[in-house]
Amino acid sequence: ITFSPVFGREAGWLHDLSRRTPDAPPGAMELVIHTAIDRFRSEAVGYLHFGLTPFSGLDDAHELPQRSRAAGRIVRMLAAHGKHIYPAADQVAYKEKWGPDLIQPEYVAFSDGVTAGAVWSLLRLTNAI
DSSP 62: G
Q: Quick check: 62 pLDDT over 90?
A: no
pLDDT, residue 48, reads 94
CA angle 74, 80, 86 (to 5 degrees): 80
CA distances from 123 to 27, 101, 115 (A): 29, 28, 12
pLDDT of residue 72: 80
- pTM of this prediction? 0.71
Q: Is the pLDDT at 101 greater than 80, yes or no?
A: yes
| Chain segment 9-18, per-residue pLDDT in tens | 999 999 988 8
**Which pLDDT tens digit goes with each residue over 65-91?**
877 787 788 778 878 887 887 788 888
CA–CA dist 35, 119 (Å, integer): 37
